[in-house]
Each structure stands twice: as structure tokens, then as C-alpha cells.
């Protein structure tokens, strides 16, 4: 009888140990599954490091928004983040003049086509396309914002490969903040009016400069940067991202 009890106790202990081991294994697997791998620049943009472009030609933005002015402002500010990253950027207005003379002003004609002629004629290594998907101004009481969605596609003018792609949505806060004492209703009313005015008069240039800089923040360094070919192990940003832009 005693032996039988010992056997039963032994089996219970074995079952308990087995269950504990299984639980530990499942917990370990779950932990491993929850580990998110953040790709490096070299992993996300391998063609940038393989082709190592030195120069970039910027095509006029494809404007799918209802804001006519957005196209010109984005086009005139695109060279800033590219030059800061260490690339030679073809002067936009000279480029625009040449494209117009060749009836090649519409970027839609080349967005998915052969770009090797740009390399042969102009000597550029890569061509940047941007598409402004929307530019919305929203205002409700004292809460205001300008929401912009832009797609960036950098393609090789040698192999036609996509070197870099980013889809960014940036929100530019235009809310007013008086930080003053007095009637709460009166303050809310004044803030609402100020927000509406600020939203309506938003500086396109400011939105474009800050948005482009944030959206292209992880572009691999170009040959005129001290980080050239040394930033491959840095973390890359998500292909699609939302960006909050302040007025300061």
C-alpha cells in the first residue's frame, strides 16, 4: 500500500514537472515571437549601398491634392534634406526649365518608366519622385491642423531599381494657446478665431521643409557626408510613418 502511494506521488511529481517545463517552453516561444526585429539601413535599402548614387535629380511633384500651391513649395524645398544627407542635387529650377523645353514636365510620364535617359543626357545617378496625396486643413473650435500625405520614391537612373521608398503622413499643429487668465468662454472664442486664421494662413514652406526633413531622416548618407558608407548598421525608419510637426 505504501509503495502504491509512493508511485502515485512520483507520477504526480513527474506530471507537474512536465507541465512546468511545457509552460516555460511556451512562454519562451511567445517571448521570442514578440521580439520585433528593426531593420538596419543596409537591410532596408540594400540597393542604395550597392549602387552608391552620388547625384539626385528631383522631378516636379505629382500633385493629387486640391492644393495648387503645395506642388511648387514641395519642389522648391526638396533639395534641402538631400543636400544635407551628402548628395549633389541638380538645381531644381534649371532642371525644371530643361524638362519643360523637352516636354518632359509631367512626372507621371516617368514615374514607372525607363530612367536611363536621365543618366545618359544629364548624368544623374538617381531620380526622386514625390506624390502629394492630400493636403487638408482642419479646424474645429480651438483645435486646428494641416494634414499632409506624401510618397517619396527614389529610383536609380542606371538600373531603374527603387532605391528608397517612404510614405509619410504629417500633421502640422495650428492650435492657438493664449495662456491667459479671464473668461474661459472668451478665451476659447479667441483661441478658435486665432486657430482658424493660423490654419488658413499656414506657411506651406514651413510644412514642406519640416515634413521632408523628417520623412527622409534615415536616407543613407551620400558621398559628401562623413557618414558615407558608415551608417549601414543604423536603424531604419518604418516604410509608412506618421509625423507630428510643431510650429517651433
For the chain, domains (ranges, CATH) are: 38-176+190-236 (3.40.50.10610)
C-alpha count within 13 angstroms, C-beta hemisphere, residue 92:
18
pLDDT at 242 over 60: yes
Higher pLDDT, residue 86 or 25: 86
Look at residue 140 and tell me whether its pLDDT is greater than 60: no
Instruction: Check pLDDT > 70 for residue 22.
Output: no
Q: What average pLDDT does the segment 136-164 reach? A: 81
Q: Is pLDDT of 168 > 80?
A: yes
Across the chain, what does the average pLDDT equal?
Answer: 77
Which cell goes with 175?
492650435
pLDDT (0 to 100) of residue 16: 45
DSSP three-state, residue 153 = strand
Q: How large is the average pLDDT for residues 161-188?
A: 67
Other C-beta atoms lying within 10 Å of the C-beta of residue 223: 14
What's the farthest any 2 CA atoms get from each other in the chain? Answer: 104
Q: For residue 243, name the pLDDT band (cuts at 50, 70, 90).
A: confident
Q: Which of 43-52, 105-114, 173-182 has the lowest mean pLDDT?
A: 173-182
Q: Is 41 exposed, middle or buried (0-12, 13-18, 19+ CB in 10 A)?
A: buried
DSSP assignment of 161-225: -EEEEEEEEEEEE--------S-HHHHHHHHHHHHHHHHHT--HHHHHHHHHHHHTTTPPP-TTS
Residue 79: predicted pLDDT: 92
The arithmetic mean of pLDDT across residues 66-84, rounded, is 85
Amino acid at each position: 500500500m505504501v509503495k502504491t502511494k509512493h508511485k502515485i506521488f512520483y507520477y504526480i511529481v513527474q506530471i507537474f514537472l512536465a507541465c512546468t517545463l511545457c509552460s516555460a517552453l511556451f512562454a519562451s516561444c511567445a517571448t521570442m515571437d514578440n521580439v520585433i526585429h528593426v531593420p538596419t539601413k543596409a537591410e532596408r535599402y540594400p540597393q542604395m549601398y550597392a549602387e552608391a548614387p552620388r547625384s539626385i535629380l528631383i522631378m516636379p511633384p505629382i500633385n493629387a491634392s486640391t492644393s495648387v500651391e503645395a506642388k511648387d513649395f514641395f519642389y522648391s524645398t526638396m533639395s534641402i534634406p538631400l543636400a544635407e544627407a551628402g548628395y549633389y542635387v541638380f538645381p531644381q529650377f534649371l532642371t525644371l526649365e530643361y524638362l519643360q523645353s523637352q516636354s518632359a514636365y509631367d512626372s507621371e510620364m516617368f514615374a514607372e518608366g525607363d530612367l536611363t535617359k536621365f543618366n545618359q543626357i544629364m548624368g544623374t545617378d538617381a531620380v526622386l519622385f514625390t506624390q502629394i496625396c492630400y493636403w487638408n486643413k482642419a479646424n474645429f473650435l480651438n483645435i486646428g491642423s494641416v494634414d499632409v500625405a506624401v510618397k517619396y520614391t527614389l529610383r536609380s537612373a542606371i538600373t531603374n531599381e527603387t532605391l528608397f521608398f517612404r510614405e509619410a503622413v504629417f500633421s502640422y499643429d495650428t492650435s492657438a494657446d493664449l495662456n491667459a487668465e479671464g473668461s474661459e468662454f472668451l478665451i476659447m472664442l479667441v483661441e478658435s478665431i486665432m486657430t482658424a486664421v493660423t490654419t488658413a494662413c499656414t506657411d506651406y514652406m514651413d510644412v514642406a521643409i519640416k515634413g521632408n526633413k523628417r520623412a527622409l531622416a534615415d536616407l543613407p548618407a551620400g558621398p559628401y557626408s562623413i557618414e558615407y558608407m558608415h551608417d549601414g548598421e543604423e536603424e531604419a525608419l518604418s516604410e509608412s510613418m506618421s509625423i507630428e510637426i510643431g510650429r517651433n
